Structure 1
Amino acid sequence: MPAPLNAENVRRAPKVLLHDHLDGGLRPQTVLELADAVGYRGLPADEAGALGRWFREAADSGSLVQYLETFAHTVAVMQTPDAVARVARECALDLAADGVVHAEVRMAPELLAPGMPLEAAVEAMLEGYAQGSREAAAAGTPISVGTLLCAMRQDDRWEEVADLVVRYRDAGVVGFDLAGPEDGFPPDRIPAALALLDRAGAHRTVHAGEAAGIGSIRAALDGARAERLGHGVRIADEVTAEGTLGPVARRVRDGQVTLEVAPSSNVQTGAYPSLAAHPVDRLHRLGFAVTLNTDNRLMSGVSVTSEVTDVATTFGWGWDDVRTVTERALAGAFLTDEERRRLLEDVVRPGYAALQG
């Protein structure tokens, strides 16, 4: 008999996470301790439970602009290498404890640059993930963590970030991302950065189809040559109620372009009024390469387990659906073929076989 599809069993299931922001997943207690260490006085609460609630309530505004304002506090306490390494270590440990076997966590090093050189920020992230992964393996919950480096669309440091992606890719940096406002800042605005990535054969994912629609998705694919779409959920704008696909939607589905979907985050930022109204199930049923992601665990008050459980409960998914989404995420991960095959054959498939009975 299959195990019941509930939070306890979803936590046991091997999961793959492709879209998680380092500065959106801090432990509230860590925010307090780091703020105290650096003398940051701007926090809206001085107790961990109250601070966690503040982040969730402030993010749950229906406004992407207000949602993003919450990051001023987390970034403010991540301005030293030691702080960044601590946050990265705890991120790896928290994800491993949640049953994540591979994660790709992103951060814009330029947001940390007032406090340190870009290289120091990257090295601190890598050090923290490595330490957390070693501790997780010793605790019997092995995890691999790849680092994605974000350039901010509205700023002009894309080439520096692209260079860091190439320089540190043998040390754990797995790809490049563009984050920040989609409207007004096209993903091919700085061609030299994209050319640098092209020459090195470096992977890239692009935030697109979150706050803006089909035009933003097309630009990410054509202008930035994105392999994955961060969010990408507005591809549903080109899907009719009968399931007929427009040209960009057909291209994304037929090409199995990975959609890094984060339903709870989309509801919080006002893209959809509720989880039940979110197109994640419709896109999944139509064969898009849908994956389930947390985006910002602190702001959204979610884990990978809660996100998978909530989607499965809302839409009546079974273990086949959860396994399919996990295997799609593994297929889209910026891993070597050997590591992807190892995780699939030795970890993911046996894990779901045990749950499916």
Structure 2
Amino acid sequence: MTETPAPAVLSAALVSRAPKALLHDHLDGGLRPQTIIDLANESGYAGLPASDADALGQWFRDSADSGSLERYLETFSHTVAVMQTADQLSRVARECAIDLAADGVVYAETRFAPEQHVAGGLSLTEVIEAVLEGLRDGEAEAAAAGTPIRMVALLTAMRHAAKSDEIAELAVRYRDQGVGGFDIAGAEAGFPPSRHLSAFEYLRRENAHFTIHAGEAFGLPSIWEAIQWCGADRLGHGVRIMDDITVSDSDSADAEGEGATLGRLAAYVRDCRIPLEMCPTSNLQTGAAESIATHPISLLKDLRFRVTINTDNRLMSGTSMSREMQLLVDEAGWTLDDLRWATINAMKSAFIPFDERLAIIEHVVKPGYAALSAAT
């Protein structure tokens, strides 16, 4: 009897070359440590916990791993503090595009909350225009370096604030200038998405895309409201959808759902192909998952939910798309076909027109993975 050959081991070098699509990445969570230091020195910000780039990067990772929500949130106070002028915002956005492109990302959506960047006197529109300028500059530099990338911005409103209607209107105003859609973020508990229902109703009337952070720190009610009350196109994280899935034997839960029983909400999410913007390393840091090996993303993949792989906050998690993929390969047994499938999922779910999505899938993603497959 002929044995089925084991899947080829995917090296870090090979995974780094894989085309990647990123839907969930926070601009203020992905700065280079040296950039933070440079901008702090230029602006006179004296609150940094370290003045050396390596030490500062380690401080961000340690703080995010500390288990203390207060210390985790403190990390963003430092990055936001050095993102208060047009030049600062443009530099951070430009470097975001360059860094992602160097990691093999061919399409990315980076999100930011304009209301968090007005302390230096900028208007909300000036904040948005500075970020968009930086993204375009970064795209141009990446293309010149031979690593082309398509960058799209998402405008985020904070759940605890009262600017969601205004931010939603700005997302529509700038949607033909590089803004792909809208998002809300912040603490889920006590701040349900339905508090911002008027913003979501406006976006739907305007045929605009939006995603909602839901199902990370809070459970099924957050997911249900995001979908059924607010009409979210995608779910930011969505890891707690597992609360509506019962698995009698995880080894038997295959692509047809054998071995798993889906509740009504989980079945609806899968049936409607609602994309899940999953961030494995970040979920470990926030306690939403216990390990990469047991992270729900793998079971949800096997059950054929539309899962996507994302970074969330690259600085705080010390991560990249290549690292997230490699962790799934090394610790959860993902194959090259799995990575390809998740990448195509992300491109199908991107907030750009259908023909543009299809062009990237057919002319970049599929040929890229075919070449890698031939090399293994």
> TM-score band (shorter)?
over 0.9
Q: Which amino acid in 1 is paired with 2:34?
A: Q
Distance 2:147 2:56 in 1: 28
- Counterpart among 83, 108, 111 of residue 106 in structure 1: 111
* Mapped pair 1:235 → 2:241: yes
Unaligned runs of 5+ in 2: 249-259
Match for residue 254 of structure 2? none
Please state whether the residue corresponding to 1:141 is helix, strand or coil. Answer: coil
* Mapped pair 1:50 → 2:55: yes
Q: How big is the shift at 1:4?
A: 4.5
> Does the 8 Å CA contact 2:294/2:332 hold for their aligned counterparts?
no
> Does the 8 Å CA contact 1:3/1:355 hold for their aligned counterparts?
no
Paired residues in the alignment total 357
Q: How big is the shift at 1:276?
A: 2.1
Give the CA RMSD over aligned residues. Answer: 1.3
Match for residue 218 of structure 2? 212
* Mapped pair 1:283 → 2:300: yes
* Mapped pair 1:147 → 2:164: no
Compared with structure 1, are the counterparts of its residues 314 and 3 closer, same or farther at alpha carbon in structure 2 (3 Å cutoff)?
Answer: closer
Where in structure 2 are the equivalents of 1:1-357 lying within 5 Å?
4-115=9-120, 116-242=122-248, 243-357=260-374
> Does the 8 Å CA contact 2:292/2:332 hold for their aligned counterparts?
no
Q: How big is the shift at 1:338?
A: 1.1
> Does the 8 Å CA contact 1:63/1:270 hold for their aligned counterparts?
no
> Does the 8 Å CA contact 1:63/1:269 hold for their aligned counterparts?
no
- Percent identity among equivalent residues? 57
Relative to the length of structure 1, the TM-score reads: 0.98
Please state whether the residue corresponding to 2:111 is helix, strand or coil. Answer: strand
Distance 2:68 2:232 in 1: 26
Distance 1:4 1:169 in 2: 42
Unaligned runs of 5+ in 1: none
Q: How big is the shift at 1:64?
A: 4.1
Structure with higher Rg: it is: 2
Distance 2:222 2:35 in 1: 36
> Does the 8 Å CA contact 1:178/1:205 hold for their aligned counterparts?
yes
Deviations 1:10-51 (A, max 9, x none): 111110000000000000000000001111100000000000
Please state whether the residue corresponding to 1:151 is helix, strand or coil. Answer: strand
Q: How big is the shift at 1:65?
A: 4.4
Q: Whose RCO is larger (CA < 8 A, sep 6+)?
A: 1
Q: How big is the shift at 1:192?
A: 2.5
> Does the 8 Å CA contact 1:61/1:269 hold for their aligned counterparts?
no
Distance 1:72 1:343 in 2: 36
